[in-house]
Amino acid sequence: MRRFVDKIEAVGTGYARESVVISANVTERVKALHFRDGQTVQQGQVLAELALSEETADLAQARARLKEAELQLERVRQLADRGYATRASLDQRIAERDAARATVESIQARIEDRIIRAPFTGIAGLRNVSPGLIVTAGTPLVEISDISTIKLDFTIPEAYLSQVDVGQEVQARVSAFNNELFTGRITAIDPQVDPVTRSARVRALIDNPNLKLRPGMLMTVGIIREQREALAVPELAVIAEGREKYVFVVNEDGKSVTRTRILTGERQPGYVEVTAGLQPGDLVVSEGVVKLRDGAPIKLLQAAGTEARVAERGTTRS
């Protein structure tokens, strides 16, 4: 008995769970960079600063005007409480205070545009700028990628859509790591089928705690449909004649073999599933079967352990 897995094979590409190219929002000189190539950065961490001299001066001036407007408002409010100022004067001072406050907030927003932060925790790529460079709006500074989980996108023929569902397990192998096995689960299936290729896109998430997998890697994907325990024989024991498959079964007396037709199912490295024709415990010749014929006499050289038994015809070991 061996474990067999029915799966749909496909080829897919890995993508970062989140990935964004950080760009400048305004045209300005790069004052400082606060990250290294390949460094892990935290959400909200300052990555770059653009020159702020003009905005800093404007902010100081705007705050001074806001303070003056608040003082004027307080004086007029006190006079209005004693009946020495009109309601119109009070409203005017309130409007001036609100305008001064809006100016401060506007300048603070301009300053914030010049302080560039990481939108999420990830790994910084290779930076494209250096301090002192004048960048324009949209100039890419660095790419941040979260690869703690890899999104694996692949396509399957529409004929398999009924056999695939969200939550189903997938197994991925990457040649870069000697076909090491990575497991994940399907999280989404594209609702549209490509009318040209008649295939649908499927997305799975694969945990990547050791950060081995990288975006852009080509992966061989297997979608697990069914797992079962089934009878199996070594591949070398099977003789194929057209569509028919045969094995040589050692008779109960242990002195001859019988050519037995079998039905086969899935294959795995070294073994073939047997769906009919054999029973558990049958002794099958696994090597040298091309030298045997139906009813050929044999001699069991060893009696201990089914896998250790060797069949011999005459003086030729098989």
Determine, yes or no, domain membership for 92: yes
Q: pLDDT tens-digit profile of 22-31?
A: 988 888 889 8
How many CB atoms lie under 10 A from the CB of residue 55? 20
Confidence of residue 303 (pLDDT cuts 50, 70, 90): low
Does residue 131 lie within any of the structural domains? no
Domain end (from 195, 227, 259): 227
Domain extent at residue 107: 52-113
pTM recorded for the entire structure? 0.62
Q: Residue 171: give its domain's CATH number.
A: 2.40.30.170
Measured distance CA(50)–CA(26) in Å, rounded:
9
Indicate if 201 and 238 belong to the same structural domain: no
> Is residue 34 domain-resident?
no
Does residue 47 lie in a domain region?
Answer: no
- Please tell me the predicted confidence (pLDDT) of residue 215: 93
* Residue 276 counted as domain residue: yes
Q: pLDDT tens digits, residue range 189-245?
A: 999 999 999 999 999 999 998 889 999 999 999 887 777 888 888 888 888 888 888
> What gap in Å lies between CA 94 and CA 74, rounded to an integer?
9
d(CA 203, CA 148): 16
* Pair 179, 210 in one domain: yes
Q: Contact, 180 vs 171, CB < 8 A?
A: no
Structural domain includes residue 200: yes
Residue 195 is assigned to a structural domain of this protein: yes
| Residue 311 pLDDT > 60 | no
Last residue of one domain, picked from the residues 181, 197, 227: 227
**Could you give the number of structural domains in the chain?**
3
